[in-house]
Amino acid sequence: MALLPLSGTFLGDVTTVGVVVDDEDTAEAVGQKIAHHAVGRRVAARTAPIRVRLGGRVLDPDEIIGRTGVSPYDHVEVFFDE
């Protein structure tokens, strides 16, 4: 367990947020942490699953973020899977 600072943007939001996640968090957990700052505030809530894109690759929801090759302060994009 190690803290991992990332930046993230939720698709449709105008703000980039900084979040600190655990390197053992799943991609789904990372997406939820970033969504917390945008969905229901500047992005309309939906019932669709939330997904995470890192370097152009959409991560599997169960993928462990620390095993994806991510580095501190990398940027991820979060979006509703439709």
Domain 3-80 has CATH 3.10.20.270: yes
* pTM beyond 0.85: yes
- pLDDT tens digits, the chain, 82 residues: what are they? 899 999 999 999 999 999 999 999 999 999 999 999 999 999 999 999 999 999 999 999 999 999 999 999 999 999 999 8
Question: How far is residue 40's CA from residue 54's CA, in Å, rounded to a whole number?
Answer: 23
Q: What are the structural domain ranges in the chain?
A: 3-80
Q: Is 3:66 a contact under the CB 8 Å cutoff?
A: no
